[in-house]
Amino acid sequence: MDFSAKLSAAWAKNDSLLCVGLDPDLDKLPKHLASSTDSLFVFNRAIIDATTDLVCAYKPNSAFYESLGADGVNQLKKTCDYIRENHPHIPILLDAKRGDIGNTNEHYAQFAFDYLGVDAITIAPYMGQEANAAFLARADKGIIVLCRTSNPGAGEFQDLEVDGKKLYQLVAERVSTDWNEHNNCLLVVGATSPTELADVRTLVGDDITFLVPGVGAQGGDVEATVKAGINQQGTGVIINSSRGIIFASDGKDFAEAARKEAESLRDEINKYRN
């Protein structure tokens, strides 16, 4: 099953547009896990098992694992293997924001898709379509291109005008028309900018899915995000929350607390879908 079909099935099965970001910062783990072997994986496994019927995807951010060296990468691998083996209907999005010359990207693609076995990866568009061909050629995988991000400084470059259009608008148009030969491209568009989110939806139409960070700890408004981002089918978005869910409690009830927050956010998202 290719990424698009897997995502559509997860949207339907769990009636959810929610993605949980698996960003297990060692400094924020529950104290009873902090010194245990494979603490990141143990934490992730509990979060996954507690929320698997509430989400349409999981999104590990590679930085939280790479910063710990080989041990961290091993725990990222264990996390991805666990999802694939125990909850195979849920897509895995690797948030890595890769982008380099073509032969380097080929190795990034091999790491993400062949070693970790993820279903999609975030990439940067700055080096152009030719450099990103190694990702785009993976027709069965989701290629999620940075477009209008959720961080406060996003507009420094993304809002610059080129021939009367903002850079993020040109990225959206180019990805949707020129890069999407295999219908496997998505766009990152942040919840903290609902006006731009609606703008990108207008530019690309209903067929491009958005990964939408910024709800939760970053302060993105759920109602505005859903209404600006969804397509006419009431889908078309993967709305991510990381810290607001996985660190809902720092006690032994952390998984139960995460489930409660995930269920609440999923239900709030669904209120505004129709």
Q: Which residues are catalytic?
A: 97
Rounded (5°) CA angle 193-196-199: 150
Rounded (5°) CA angle 123-48-135: 20
CA–CA distance, 140 with 109 (Å, rounded to integer):
12
Rounded (5°) CA angle 251-256-259: 130
CB 59 within 8 A of CB 267: no
Rounded (5°) CA angle 182-183-187: 125
Q: Which two tokens stand for residue 134?
A: 């190694």
CA–CA distance, 225 with 220 (Å, rounded to integer):
7
